[in-house]
Chain A
Amino acid sequence: MKKQTPSQTVGPFYAIALTNRTMNVLVNASTQGQHIRIEGRVFDGDGQPIPDVMVEIWQANAYGRYNHPEDKQEKPFDGAFTGWGRSGSDENCFYSFETIKPGAVPGAGDTAQAPHCNVTVFARGMLVHAYTRLYFAGDPANESDPVLNSIKNKARRATLIANREQQAGKTVYHFDIRLQGKDETVFFDV
């Protein structure tokens, strides 16, 4: 049995290799589902937005199927959607994705999970990336989501819900991530 290679920070200069291409647009005109934008900022322990942060998302397609061989569900495959995206932060510290709202995917046992994006956060100062999830405000499935319900402190569940806004006719989900503080986002030991 080999031991895992330790994680290290992305440091301040990852942009030369990791965000030098556009990777935050997950959709094209033929991608099926409700096209949405996800945006937000990542805040440090002083409540300051972080200018050198990188966020990645991984999500199912509009039918709730992952583009991966281990997802053997008999749901439609969307060849115009990989489900993965990466965003650096802009001059106002916002990360953003053009994507679709994912469908529901099965959870552990016989449970169903509410639609969600799986999120990883990387930054200078973060020695290990942090795993979190983004759920969609107003989705009735959130009430019965097994992962949300596994968070013992009920007040903290709200840190994983992205708020819905309309901006110029487009549905935008706003999702801020707080690395520390009273409203620290829930991070998972994935």
Chain B
Amino acid sequence: MKISEYSPRDWKSHPPYVFEGYGSSIKRGPLKKLVPIKQTLSEITGPLFSEIKLAPGENDLTRDAETGKEAMGERIIVVGKVIDEDEKPIANTLIEIWQANAAGRYHHPVDQHNAPLDPNFTGAGRCATNEKGEYRYLTIKPGAYPWLNHPNAWRPAHIHLSIFGPSFATRLVTQFFFPGDPLLPMDPIFNSIPTKSGGRRLMASYAHDVTEPEYALGYRFDIVLRGRKATPFAKPR
């Protein structure tokens, strides 16, 4: 069966499975060489979620969806587009979002950081791209928080994103960061990216054109998923 393959994962962009500075990766990253696979229907298809109906408010983390009460912290508007390596927009793809609150605490029982929880902030949301691959959601700027990776370790402020794209091969979970964060150079998770340019691609940029007067600051974060492999001009005979 003839299929159109996806380009390979770019290992100059993605971190290695084991990165020494990130303690949890040492026992959890596969060590044996990955086995190459010739892509088939199994890899070029994937869940599309075309029937998922997002509820109103799922893309607004700044207030409790039921009570309408507002979360504490600095409101931000996050926009961006999801494209592939050939800059083709990825339309109608699901984006799942999660993050800490303004004080740097997750609404999760495992998070025991001694910072206040915000009853009006779950830190979870969903949105989808439109026909042009564009997305937009509202949230609260997350705080930095401590973790136990090394002495006096702090994660820089970040927002987690989970994206599917059109296939099993395009699946991506990532997180983005905010410009000028002094914690970035000390963060092993950010530093696990093997190239400086790769790290820059996880930085949101301040977007004054998105900022709304008297309301919230705007940030832009574009996401690039794997594209299709180039089609050879001529097949060898």
Contact = CB atoms under 8 A, between A and B. Distances in A.
Interface of A: 1-18, 20, 44-46, 50, 52, 56, 58, 60, 66-68, 70-71, 73, 82-84, 105-108, 113, 116, 118, 120, 122-131, 133, 146-147, 150-151, 179-180, 184-190
Contact of B35 (A71, A105, A151): A151
A17 B224 contact: no
A98 B25 CA distance: 30
16 contacts: A4-B14, A4-B226, A5-B13, A8-B175, A11-B160, A46-B27, A60-B42, A106-B41, A120-B171, A125-B26, A125-B28, A126-B25, A130-B17, A151-B35, A189-B8, A190-B37
A166 to B, nearest CB: 28
Interface stretch (B63-71, B130-138, B192-200, B210-218): B192-200
B118 to A, nearest CB: 13
B54 to A, nearest CB: 12
**Secondary structure of the A contact surface, majority rule:** loop
A14 B162 CA distance: 10
Interface in B65-95: 83-87
A118 B189 contact: no
Nearest to B45: A68
B57 interface: no
Given A2-B83, A84-B46, A187-B30, 10 more contacts: A5-B222, A6-B193, A7-B15, A10-B162, A17-B96, A18-B162, A127-B16, A127-B22, A127-B189, A150-B38
